[in-house]
């Protein structure tokens, strides 16, 4: 019964949230080309998650940013995007203050 309730909550909460956030999915090569063409965003970092999907961050010189999630089959979805990105340098390991 608890699993059924959770499934119903997921359908009525998560799906409308995804639609409200305008989740956008296409082949990775197309999404990356669109990010470059329309926002001048380039890949600045990323990694492989424990579930096997690739997480990447694209950033422009103007501060716009996009988080892209790519499945092993090449389908990529924009997980989040925004403005005012800033890079933070890691602290100097020699400086312990």
Q: Is residue 95 part of a domain?
A: no
Measured in degrees and rounded to the nearest 5, phi and psi for residue 95 equal: -90, 105
Residue 57 lies in a domain: yes
pLDDT digits (tens, 9 = 90+) for 11-63: 444 444 444 455 689 999 999 999 999 999 999 999 999 999 999 999 999 99
- Determine the structural domain holding residue 45 and report its residue range: 23-82
Tell me which residue of 79, 83, 81 sits closest to 23, measured CA to CA.
Answer: 79
Task: Give the strands of the sheet with 42-48, arranged side by side.
Answer: 25-27, 75-82, 65-70, 54-59, 42-48
Percent of the chain with pLDDT over 90: 62
What are the tokens at 61?
């010189």
Domain assignment present for 96:
no
Q: Is residue 6 part of a domain?
A: no
Q: What is the pLDDT of residues 3-24, one digit of tens each?
A: 434 333 344 444 444 444 556 8
């Amino acid at each position: 019964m608890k699993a059924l309730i959770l499934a119903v909550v997921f359908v009525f909460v998560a799906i409308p949230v995804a639609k409200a956030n305008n989740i956008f999915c296409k082949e990775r090569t197309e999404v990356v080309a669109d990010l470059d063409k329309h926002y001048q965003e380039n890949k600045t970092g990323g990694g492989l998650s424990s579930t096997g999907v690739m997480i990447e961050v694209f950033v422009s010189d103007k501060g716009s940013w996009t988080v892209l999630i790519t499945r092993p089959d090449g389908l990529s979805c924009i997980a989040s995007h925004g403005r005012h990105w800033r890079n933070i340098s890691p602290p100097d390991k020699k400086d312990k203050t």
